[in-house]
């Protein structure tokens, strides 16, 4: 599709004590209710790394520094527009330790989760690919032909307390499909 417009997205993998920060999108937003890594759109004339740092600050109140690129993803717009989406996920280090302060118009909850626990969350494919790249050898994943990742029968689904956004409860599920 030559001539397609491009949209650049950037997100940060922020790890604290072996757990990664995930945000739950506000139900009234695009992809409402899904979980994601902090990030957003690169502005006109903006470089990706500073855009990632800016987006994390806007969405969480955290100050971070990008340390390296973790993954890159490309797909055509899901709404059928002639628009190519390019998303980068960076690993980022916190500048000090602070409480997460969500932007309430964009996100309704947050959680610090291990990659294995986060695997039970509903999220967009590029976040799942980033997540599973680090836990590819985990017994929690069932690798089927064609690259289709499905969870094994014994799964834990993480449910978050919607008020605090950081208290996790685990429920044992007999089945969980993506």
- The domains of the chain are located at 5-173
Q: Is the pTM of this model over 0.75?
A: no
pLDDT of residue 156: 31
Task: Round to whole Å and give the CA distance between 151 and 16.
Answer: 25
Q: Which of these, 6, 38, 48, lies nearest to 127 by C-alpha position?
A: 38
Domain 5-173 is in which class? alpha beta
- pLDDT tens digits, one per residue of 37-69: 999 999 999 999 999 999 999 999 999 999 999
Q: What is the chain written as a DSSP string?
A: -TT-EEEEEEEEEEEETTEEEEEEEPTTSTTTT-EE-SEEEPPTT--HHHHHHHHHHHHH---EEEEEEEEEEEEE-TT--SEEEEEEEEEEEESS-------TTTEEEEEEE-HHHHTTS-B-HHHHHHHHHHSTT-TTEEE-GGG-EEE-SSEEEEEE-TTTS--EEEEEES----
pLDDT of residue 37: 96
Task: Round to whole Å and give the CA distance between 39 and 57.
Answer: 9
- The residue-averaged pLDDT of 3-27 equals 93
pLDDT of residue 25: 93
Banded pLDDT at 162 (limits 50, 70, 90) = very low
Percent of the chain with pLDDT over 90: 56
**CA–CA–CA angle 115, 120, 123 (5° rounding):** 85
């Amino acid at each position: 599709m030559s001539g397609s417009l491009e949209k650049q997205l950037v997100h940060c993998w922020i790890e604290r004590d072996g757990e990664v920060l995930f945000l739950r999108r506000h139900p009234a937003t695009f992809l409402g209710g899904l979980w994601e890594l902090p990030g957003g759109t690169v502005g006109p004339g903006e470089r990706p790394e500073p855009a990632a740092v800016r987006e994390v600050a806007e969405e969480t109140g955290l100050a971070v520094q990008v340390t390296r690129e973790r993954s890159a993803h490309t797909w055509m717009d899901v709404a059928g527009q002639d628009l190519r989406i390019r998303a980068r996920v960076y690993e980022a280090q916190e500048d000090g330790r602070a409480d997460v302060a969500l932007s309430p118009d964009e996100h309704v909850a947050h959680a610090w989760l291990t990659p294995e626990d986060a695997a039970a969350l509903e999220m967009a494919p590029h976040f799942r690919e980033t997540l599973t790249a680090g836990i590819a050898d985990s017994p929690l994943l069932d690798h089927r032909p064609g690259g289709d990742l499905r969870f094994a029968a014994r799964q834990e689904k993480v449910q978050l307390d919607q008020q605090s956004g950081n208290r996790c409860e685990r429920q044992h599920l007999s089945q969980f499909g993506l």
